[in-house]
Amino acid sequence: MRVIQFREALREAMNEEMRRDNDVFLMGEEVAEYNGAYKVSQGMLDEFGEKRIIDTPIAELGFAGIGVGAAMNGLRPIIEFMTFNFSLVAIDQVINAAAKMYQMSGGQFNIPMVFRGPTGSAGQLGAQHSQAFENWYANCPGLKVVVPSNPYDAKGLLKTAIRDNDPVIFMESEQMYGDKGEVPEEEYLIPIGKADIKREGTDVTIVSFGKIMKVALAAAEELAAENISVEVIDLRTVRPIDYDTVIESVKKTNRLIIVEEAWPLASISTEITYMVQKRAFDYLDAPITRITTADTPLGYAPTFVAEFLPSVPKVVKAVKDVLYK
């Protein structure tokens, strides 16, 4: 199977859906003339023209609102935020318009649109450009929230998101656009709301999503050298969450660690912890452990970045703690 980059997988998904459906268009800062801030939309202006690949001013609230209005009128916009840190400027349109319009209109208006772009930290970018908002958006009824971890999942999930009749938050990572993976040339779709077991194991379950999956998988590989068998689950989507896959794994391993790039309060890991103890408490042989970011804005120094984020040593220690303490 061919190997392509994460950014290429996203581009293929958008290209294929735009060729299939003339109502799909892309709008955002630098998506056209500059070929995308991260070159995700490279070449799309040449193929689809300026009416479907639309450069915007630095005005997230404005072009997010245009997207909602376009979706209400039957189009299928893809709204790209250069980073989801900037989506805070547009959050009124996302939360109060896109997420609620179907209910508020009594079912008269679907909002078939995708808000996509990078989330979380990307190195030394400072406190205002290093935040993860997956759990914020997942808290809002009316939205679906997708956070892929690899090129194969990214393409299949983005195609599904574009075809969905509800608004989808599609969150990537600046540190993943160059990642490579196997992606088939034939068309495929991945359903929203179905987790994937990336590595099977028997001793402990690790649940994660997005770029932190790389940390979880690296930790599992390191632990395997010590004959510790780790099952690694990629949620893929955090609204809806595939609780069934997680709980079935916990029933097998009897231990659970959740790893995510988010502040600890009201995190996705907190929600999963609640659901697992509610539905599988008697199967647990150790307390559930979560590994999140530090409960502070991210500093600029590389030492701060390393300490702030989940890491392989933190995950390895957590696994040994739930096994042996």
- Tell me: do 137 and 77 sit in the same domain: yes
- Tell me: do 154 and 250 sit in the same domain: no
Within a domain: 191: no
Average pLDDT by stretches of 10, the chain with 325 residues: 97 98 98 96 97 97 98 98 96 98 96 97 89 96 98 98 98 96 97 98 98 98 98 98 98 98 96 97 97 94 92 98 93
Within a domain: 187: no
- Tell me: do 174 and 57 sit in the same domain: yes
- Tell me: do 171 and 301 sit in the same domain: no
Within a domain: 284: yes
Given this model, what pLDDT does residue 150 score?
98
- Tell me: do 291 and 166 sit in the same domain: no
* Count of domains for the chain: 2
Could you tell me the CATH number of the domain that includes residue 23? 3.40.50.970
**Of 130, 158, 182, which one is at a domain's C-terminal end?**
182
- Tell me: do 138 and 215 sit in the same domain: no
pLDDT tens-digit readout, 54-77: 999 999 999 999 999 999 999 999
Given this model, what pLDDT does residue 99 score?
98
Within a domain: 190: no
- Tell me: do 173 and 133 sit in the same domain: yes
- Tell me: do 166 and 130 sit in the same domain: yes
Residues near 183 by Cβ (< 8 Å), separated by ≥ 6? 1, 2, 3, 4, 8, 9, 12, 151, 152, 155
Within a domain: 188: no
Within a domain: 122: yes
Q: Which of 16, 30, 129, 248 is catalytic?
A: 129
- Tell me: do 252 and 301 sit in the same domain: yes
Given this model, what pLDDT does residue 1 score?
87
- Tell me: do 39 and 117 sit in the same domain: yes
Q: Which of 8, 17, 29, 60 is catalytic?
A: 60
- Tell me: do 96 and 175 sit in the same domain: yes
Given this model, what pLDDT does residue 325 score?
80
3-state SS track over 89-156: HHHHHHHHHHCCHHHHCCCCCCCCCEEEEECCCCCCCCHHHCCCCHHHHHCCCCCEEECCCCHHHHHH
47 near 32, Cβ under 8 Å?
no
- Tell me: do 171 and 230 sit in the same domain: no
Alpha helices by DSSP H, the chain: 6-20, 44-48, 60-72, 91-92, 101-104, 134-138, 151-163, 213-224, 243-253, 268-280, 302-308, 312-324
Identity of the residue numbered 83: T
Within a domain: 218: yes
**Of 156, 182, 208, which one is at a domain's C-terminal end?**
182
Q: Which residues form the domain of 229?
A: 196-324
Told to judge if 129 belongs to the known catalytic residues of this protein, a careful annotator would answer yes
Could you tell me the CATH number of the domain that includes residue 255? 3.40.50.920
Q: In what order do the strands lie in the sheet with 24-28?
A: 53-55, 24-28, 76-80, 114-118, 168-172, 144-146, 237-239
- For residue 112, give the nearest of 89, 153, 78 by alpha carbon: 78
Told to judge if 80 belongs to the known catalytic residues of this protein, a careful annotator would answer no
Within a domain: 74: yes
**Of 160, 182, 204, which one is at a domain's C-terminal end?**
182
